[in-house]
Structure formats: structure tokens, C-alpha cells
Amino acid sequence: MRYISATWRADYVRQAVPVKGCIFCQALKGRDDRATGLLLRGRRNFVMLNRYPYTPGHLMIAPRRHLADFAAAGPAERAELAELLRTALLVLRRAYGPQGFNAGMNLGASAGAGVAGHYHLHVVPRWTGDSNFMPLVGGTRVFIEDLDTTYRKLRPLFHPERRRGSR
Ligand SMILES: [Zn+2]
């Protein structure tokens, strides 16, 4: 049995000090969606890849507004979040065929939110045996793919209307 070290987790721990600005607002403002992993811009929310995925396909859904508290979100914001969660589940199922999902929010720094000022819903595909979020080899396949591969796989699935003729 071979274990794969998740070096990006260590990087994440090192970077747990507050960063200047907000990664969500920055990604939304930026023009290079592929570089930031921004998969879909909705009317009130957007979907982007987590830079430090627990498993391949780990993404996040966040409001366009810089808002810390989900309870302060408006009805249309909340409704679209639920719609995008559904879309994300369908897309991830199609791309990776996971056996389950974790979907949830860490609200507040004490609850483990990496970016506490801008709430976001994590969607994490899960497989039996990916124990403690660390995929390990147990005779079955394991894959850790780079973010750009994940992006190129998922982006067209979030934009089915644009699939023909464009990338
Ligand atoms: Zn923000």
C-alpha cells in the first residue's frame, strides 16, 4: 500500500494567516476565470474550484456580494445558491461519478472558515475509502489531478449551451 502525501494541505496551513483582500471578490473581479478556477457566474452567486481540494472536483459556491453571514442573504440569493448546488451535484456526478458528497459551510473563523468574511458552500465529492479526505491507494484507483485539468473537465459541463465550437 502506498500513501500519497497531500502537500497542498501543508501549504494551506502555512497560508492560514489573513490574506490581503478576499479571494472570492478578487476572483469575481478578475478576467482570467481559468486561472482563478471560476467555473460559473450566476446572477447572484458564482462557482469556483477550491485551490486546496480535499478530493478532485472540490468546489465552492459563493454570493457575488461580500457577505459574511448566510443568514443575512436575500431570498433570491439563497434560492440561486440551492439551484447551483443542484447543478454542481449533477456536474460532479457526471464528471467523476463519486459515491457521495459533503456539502456545507464553515461560518466564522471559529468554525474553521478559511475566508470568514465571504461565506461559501463547499461541495466535496466523496468515495468510499478516501478516508479523512486523503485519497489512499488500497488496490483501487486513486487520482489527484491538477486544478487546470479539473477546470477544463468541469467548465464545459457548467456551460452546456456553449459546448459546441468553443472551449
Ligand atoms: Zn469577498
pLDDT in tens, 4-29: 444 444 444 434 433 358 999 999 99
CATH of the domain at 51: 3.30.428.10
Give the model's pLDDT for residue 131.
59
Give the distance (Å) from ligand 1 centre to CA of residue 26.
7
Total-model pTM: 0.79
62, 121 Cβ separation under 8 angstroms: yes
Q: Is residue 14 part of a domain?
A: no
**Total residues found in the chain within this entry:** 167
d(CA 83, CA 40): 12
Q: Is residue 144 part of a domain?
A: yes
Q: Is residue 79 part of a domain?
A: yes
Give the distance (Å) from ligand 1 centre to CA of residue 64.
8
Phi, then psi, of 41 in degrees rounded to 5: -105, 110
pLDDT tens profile 74-116: 999 999 999 999 999 999 999 999 999 999 999 998 888 888 8
Give catalytic status of residue 120 as yes or no: yes
d(CA 121, CA 119): 7
Q: Is residue 3 part of a domain?
A: no
What is the number of structural domains in the chain?
1
Q: Is residue 40 part of a domain?
A: yes
Domain that holds residue 78: 22-159
Q: Is residue 122 part of a domain?
A: yes
